[in-house]
């Protein structure tokens, strides 16, 4: 006869084996959902280079670039039943050595990011709770009188209906581009690119093509045309130019 402890250990071992097997099948099931229909495009709208403290904790002044861009992306194929959320980001790539742009290493800096949550499934805990454990009509009336007749915003419902659709115009970057050297003005061969990271409920993280990490999804990664950063705008030079123009106007 086996003791109670031996039986509990056997049941627990069988449970963990089944759980790991089911988790493995769930992680591999994402291979049945193709992601080659993903499309993304990014385009630069405006860029300027400023000298100052890019962060409140910066101890010295340095040059940093601020960007504005347009983004069009259709990431809906990345959502399946095992997708928890999608992390989307736009990053800038530029040569680390401005004097040797052809053979120097490439630096990357994220300038914008967002998290897109997957739409609620009909078999989620909240949906099943609302379906089988719905509150009584009396409590519904009471909660409705407190909340009023306000309707949920249409934008939120649309976001749940079409997850992964991004249409941004003249979007300001969340983060500035800086360098350890403290100089960013007049750098050449700078590009913007779109990247993403699929975070599943079970399984490994899936990265965008060209990210350097595995496993990777399929789809088109949008890359902008190469551009150069402008020269640093100096406040003293602008003031002198304005004063010179005012002097010419007075002479006339």
Q: Please give the pLDDT value at position 119.
A: 84
DSSP type of residue 76: G
Q: Which of 89, 96, 95 is nearest to 110 (CA)?
A: 89
In angstroms, the first-to-last Cα distance of the chain is 113
pLDDT digits (tens, 9 = 90+) for 214-237: 888 999 999 999 999 999 876 444
In sequence order, the 6+-apart residues with CB closer than 8 A to the CB of 221 are 40, 193, 194, 195, 208, 209, 210
As a whole number of Å, the CA-based R_g of the chain is 27
Residue ranges, the chain, pLDDT below 70 = 1, 122-125, 128, 136-161, 234-252
Distance CA 168, CA 37 (A): 20
**Alpha carbon distance 192, 90 (integer Å):** 7
Note the pLDDT of residue 149. Answer: 52
Pairwise CA distance, residues 238 & 108, whole Å? 32
pLDDT of res. 239: 44
What is the rounded distance in angstroms from the CA atom of residue 50 to the CA atom of residue 173?
14
Do residues 160 and 126 make contact, with C-beta atoms less than 8 angstroms apart? no
Look up the pTM and report it.
0.75
Distances (CA, A) of 250 to 64, 101, 200, 215: 37, 47, 69, 68
Which are the contacts of 197, defined by CB distance < 8 A and separation ≥ 6? 86, 87, 89, 205, 206, 207, 208
pLDDT at residue number 241: 45
Of the chain, the percentage scoring pLDDT greater than 90 comes to 40
What 8-state DSSP symbol labels residue 30? Answer: G
Gap between the Cα atoms of 208 and 110, Å rounded: 14
């Amino acid at each position: 006869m086996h003791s109670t402890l031996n039986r509990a250990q056997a049941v627990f071992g069988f449970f963990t084996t089944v759980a790991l097997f089911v988790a493995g099948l769930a992680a591999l099931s994402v291979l049945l959902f193709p992601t080659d229909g993903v499309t993304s495009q990014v385009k630069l709208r405006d860029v300027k280079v400023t000298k100052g403290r890019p962060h409140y904790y910066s101890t010295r002044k340095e040059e940093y670039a601020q960007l504005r861009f347009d983004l069009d992306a259709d990431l809906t194929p990345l959502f399946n039943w095992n997708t928890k959320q999608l992390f989307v980001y736009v990053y800038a790539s530029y040569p680390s050595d401005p004097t040797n742009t052809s053979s120097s290493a490439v630096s990357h800096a994220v300038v914008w990011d967002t998290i897109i949550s997957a739409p609620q499934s009909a078999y989620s805990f909240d949906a099943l709770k609302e379906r089988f454990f719905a509150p009584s009509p009396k409590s519904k009336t009471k909660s409705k009188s407190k909340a009023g007749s306000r309707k949920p915003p249409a934008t939120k419902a649309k976001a749940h209906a079409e997850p992964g659709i991004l249409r941004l115009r003249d979007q300001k970057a969340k983060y500035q581009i800086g360098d350890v050297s403290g100089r960013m003005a007049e750098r050449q061969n700078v590009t913007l690119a779109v990247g993403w990271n699929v975070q599943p409920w079970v399984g490994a993280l899936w990265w965008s093509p060209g990210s350097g990490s595995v496993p990777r999804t399929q789809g088109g990664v949008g890359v902008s045309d190469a551009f150069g950063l402008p020269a640093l705008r100096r406040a003293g030079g602008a003031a002198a130019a304005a004063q010179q123009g005012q002097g010419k106007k007075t002479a006339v």
